[in-house]
Structure 1
Amino acid sequence: MTTPDIKTDATGINLTPIAAGKVKALLEQEGRDDLRLRVAVQPGGCSGLRYQLFFDERELDGDIVKEFDGVEVVVDRMSAPYLAGATVDFADRIDAQGFTIDNPNAGGSCACGDSFH
């Protein structure tokens, strides 16, 4: 399912305007303008792979950088195939809170929702 107010790019990761706004607010709290949101996939969790979202100032060889409403999102070359077409959103509801990732490449997830395969 895609959010109607974002442009979906099947070759890379997407960031909703709500998520971009939250990232901007967090960066302002940090007081640094050299950080970008890095989204990565690492081995781990019940289902084999786990998402990592963190602020990073590093530039790694092969990084893919996209900009959304003034927010730079970085994906390393090893994680890129797992995140192609994925959408990062931010939820603040009773049933979900924090950043969420809707990933068409995930075949399934564990019961706790912390990892995927």
Structure 2
Amino acid sequence: MTAVTITEKAASEIKRVMSEQQMPETTSVRIGVSGGGCSGMQYTFGFDENPDAAADEVSAQHGVNVAVNKQFSLHLDGTVVDFKDELHQRGFVFNNPNAVRSCGCGSSFSS
């Protein structure tokens, strides 16, 4: 089971960037999370030419290899990555059904 799904639109943008940067076709897009302080976890997004078969879950989606470290699977389970190219917003958007935001006072609420 794949923790992260990318849309066709996101895959098209990833392929465009990879082509522009002359990355090998075997390059994977790496998606993860890192500690984000008061607002909780933040998403990480980059490229990896050598995913670790033992530590990573790698899936091919719309012609793009997607690598997620297995330790992040629980945090990312069900996440859909899309790409928006609109007048007021351009970039990758992470839609995570498990996301919970919190503030320094200890309160939390669903996003």
CA distance in 2, matches of 1:45, 1:92: 29
Match of 2:63 among 70, 86, 89: 70
Percent of pairs with identical residues: 35
Match of 1:38 among 24, 30, 40: 30
Alpha-carbon RMSD across the aligned residues, in angstroms, is: 2.2
2:86 aligned with 1:86: no
Aligned positions, number:
103
Q: Contact 2:40 / 2:102 at 8 angstroms: preserved in 1?
A: no
Show structure 1 runs of 4+ deviating over 3 A.
Answer: none
Q: TM-score by structure 1 length?
A: 0.78
CA distance in 1, matches of 2:5, 2:57: 12
CA distance in 2, matches of 1:59, 1:69: 18
Partner of 2:3: 12
Q: TM-score by structure 2 length?
A: 0.82
Identify, as 1 or 2, the structure richer in strand. 2
Unpaired runs of 5+ residues, structure 2, are 104-109
Identify, as 1 or 2, the structure richer in helix. 2
Q: Contact 2:29 / 2:65 at 8 angstroms: preserved in 1?
A: yes
Unpaired runs of 5+ residues, structure 1, are 1-8, 111-115
